[in-house]
Amino acid sequence: MKQTENLEFDAKHIWHPYSSVTNPPIIHQVISADGVRLTLADGRTIIDGMSSWWSAIHGYNHPRLNQAAKQQIDQMSHVMFGGLTHQPAIDLARKLIDITAQPLQKVFFTDSGSIAVEVAIKMAIQHWFAQGQTTKQRLLTVYNGYHGDTFGAMAVCDPINGMHSMFESILPKHLFAPAPTCVNDEDWQDSDIAEFRQLISENHNELAAVILEPIVQNTGGIRFYCPEYLRQVRTLCDEHDVLLILDEIATNFGRTGTLFAYEQANICPDILCLGKALTGGYMTLAATLCTDKVAQGIAADGSGILMHGPTFMANPLACRVACESIDILLESDWQQKVQTIEQQLVAELAPYKSQDLVKDIRVKGAIGVVELHNPIDGQMDWLPKFIVDQGVWIRPFRNLIYIMPPFIIESVDLTQLTVAIGNIINRLSR
């Protein structure tokens, strides 16, 4: 009875991500989590194929992360960052500077990925404003991108196929180039960058920055593109005196097969956004890093004050867990784990390509995507229950069925996820 009452209360009063409270989605109550499994209130356990929206790379209930949180909470769970500092923030900043590209030397801690993007945009615009270049206030990006749900971030999400079209009339107007289509460097053609090149050439006097998700466009369609595109963008930004922001919030910490996706292009951004897996999925924390060049530009007016300061900035508890999560990752054979996941996804998803409903199969690192010809939004009255009945947790959206499992997943559990994807396709085919 208590479970039923809880779910009824939830449906009546609680808003869930991208949902309606007048027509609430089907919800399953989780009571505990361990490894790659979630335990539901009805006693069933399901394999999490989503890593809690790509963040729980070490799985759940990790003893080292638990211990780090317990030790820190006994010292202090939070203290304001204005005028004060603490060891977890200093330690985490050191780690982030050490593992990212050498020019990235300044760290701004934020509450979430969307806010990390907001800070990055502020950094870019203020960099030029402080130097007297007040016309450089716009950004250039590509279609099919997603950078968050706050207003600055929404403005650089895809304005046509994104989730924020109703706000278009009140958002800042930025420039959009066609999304990159070349998947492999061997197939690179200069035409893939042609319109982007024209836009940056014609508008560089008003462009503060380019913002992109490197190698993988995530919520905008989970599209993969080749490193050469990033190299070309970096060159064009340098030629036209435009900053480059890379949004690695979804791709950071090994998800694409390298620690950071930009490493596959052997470039360095001027500003880098990190988040999601930063704490191993334990709590919300993100960071925006920038080069000394950007910081010095912001200081060119004599103050250097970046006008942003979240209440929970550099939360000690989150910073301490993030430090431990990074250590766990770097001490493990994570590259081999991600490569093994990639190989298994390639082998087990490939047979579905012959299904009539399937448009494309894509795999990159620990990301597996089945793209259908048509959206499945109209199937959400039965699909969530059907998925859980397969003993797994997968959250399709639009025309995509995808998984991004924790790196610790075993082969047999990954197979259960890929088989479940096949069962979803078969059920949709009826």
Given the residues 2, 12, 18, 74, select the one marked as catalytic: 18
Given the residues 60, 146, 229, 282, select the one marked as catalytic: 146
328 backbone dihedrals φ, ψ, rounded to 5°: -60, -45
- Give the whole-angstrom CA distance, residue 370 versus residue 74: 45
Q: How far is CA 204 from CA 83, 173, 208, in A?
A: 38, 15, 8
Whether 17 contacts 373, CB under 8 Å: no
β-bridge partners, 108: 288
395 backbone dihedrals φ, ψ, rounded to 5°: -125, 90
276 is catalytic: yes
Whether 205 contacts 135, CB under 8 Å: yes
282 is catalytic: no
- Give the whole-angstrom CA distance, residue 175 versus residue 205: 13
Contacts of 333 (CB under 8 A, 6+ apart): none
Given the residues 111, 192, 247, 413, select the one marked as catalytic: 247
Angle at 386 between CA 381 and CA 388, to 5 degrees: 115
Q: How far is CA 376 from CA 120, 382, 402, 406, in A?
A: 34, 11, 13, 25
18 is catalytic: yes
Given the residues 276, 282, 337, 413, select the one marked as catalytic: 276
- SS3 state of residue 289: strand
* Residues with a known catalytic role: 18, 146, 247, 276
